[in-house]
Amino acid sequence: TCSAEDSQTVVIGLAADSGCGKSTFMRRLTSVFGGAAEPPRGGNPDSNTLISDTTTVICLDDYHSLDRTGRKEKGVTALDPKANDFDLMCEQVKALKDGIAVEKPIYNHVTGLLDPPELIKPPKILVIEGLHPMFDERVRKLLDFSIYLDISNEVKFAWKIQRDMAERGHSLESIKASIEARKPDFDAYIDPQKQYADAVIEVLPTQLIPGDNEGKILRVRMIMKEGVEYFIPVYLFDEGSTISWIPCGRKLTCSYPGIKFSYGPETYFGHEVSVVEMDGQFDRLDELIYVESHLSNISTKFYGEVTQQMLKHADFPGSNNGTGLFQTIIGLKIRDLYEQIIASKAKARVEAKA
């Protein structure tokens, strides 16, 4: 087993398929903690790790036990647990949580080989991001908070096309084929993790344009589990009610097809959850303050902090819609969770001395 004994580090799990916005989310999160995360200095230039004052983000691809050739030989994808070393993942996450540095392997995305390991020191906050942070029960138990980015097939396809065609020169057919080839393993090993997540950001095509499948205008749902320690779900207007809100009008500029918010209680894999939903996109980001002022429990430190964060990173993908908005809010919730955990530990230490 590898359960933590004296946890020093707060551990966050972020699960999603590749190309689904994990690195964008990480940039928003580390910005909330005040400081951009950078690759380790003087190390392997192909390291997947990002380090800031408070936070270290490690990519779980580093726990691939089979390299690219090994996967090809065995006929397994990177999504298959057989291609990943969960014992080592567990051991090292536990060590970091207990305040002990580890020599973590590096999966080199350029060569497809495993490079010599790098030293990772225990940070204040450790984020493990990748395909399987909630797959192994032992690793899952080490997480203080977990997030799943659930991108619907239509939207995933639109994003992949945008990136792989524009930036990597792949053809439409080859992108379709690679998504299809991954799908069985995605459904078997990645998607089921969402049932364990404390928060899920679900990204779907808009419902404001009937029959729209383009994946440009998005309907984004922030699904928040009730009863999670140190995490109070966000609400719109009135906690526990079911609400539908079209903020467009005198205070918010909206062009076609407009913006629609919804809020209410639901069940998700048998858990009670609260869901805040945004369909559509902002025309003017500075007017987001109007929406922000109607949301509660967003864990800001001052009025307008969500809007400020969004404006600061207006160039990140998703800044004009619910993906950016909810990623920013989850970032603030994680800061709050971290501060509460630290405060409760300090209190426990004082009480132990008394």
Whether the CB-CB separation of 223 and 273 falls below 8 Å is answered with: yes
Token code pair at residue 166: 């524009």
CB of 71 to ligand G6P, least distance (A): 5
- 297 sits near ligand ADP (criterion: CB under 6 A): no
Q: Say if residues 234 and 257 touch (Cβ distance below 8 Å).
A: no
Helix (H, G, I), strand (E, B) or coil at 59: strand
Fill in the per-residue mask, 291 to 330: x = in contact with ligand G6P (CB under 6 A), - = not in contact. ----------------------------------------
**Would you count residue 112 as binding ligand G6P (CB under 6 A)?**
yes
In angstroms, the Cα distances linking 347 to 343, 353, 354 are 6, 10, 11
**How far is the C-alpha of 50 from the C-alpha of 57, rounded, in Å?**
5
Question: Which residue, 113 or 232, has its beta carbon nearer to ligand G6P?
Answer: 113
Where in 122-161 is the site for ligand ADP (CB under 6 A)? 159
Interface with ligand ADP, residue 182, by CB under 6 A: no
| In the complex, least distance from residue 154 CB atom to ligand ADP, rounded to whole angstroms | 13
Q: Pick the binder of ligand ADP from 21, 123, 205, 280 (CB under 6 A).
A: 21
- What does the per-residue mask of binding to ligand G6P show for 18-57, with x meaning CB under 6 A? x---------------------------------------
DSSP 191-227: GGGGGG-SEEEEEEE-SSSTT--SSSSEEEEEEEETT
Which of 259, 318, 326, 334 touches ligand ADP (CB under 6 A)?
Answer: 318
Q: What is the DSSP string of 67-100?
A: -HHHHHHHT--TTSGGGB-HHHHHHHHHHHHTT-
Does 77 interact with ligand ADP (rule: CB under 6 A)?
A: no
Q: Which CB sits closer to ligand ADP, 325 or 332?
A: 325
CA distance 127 to 120: 12
| Contact residues for ligand ADP, defined by CB under 6 A | 16, 18-24, 159, 162-163, 317-318, 323
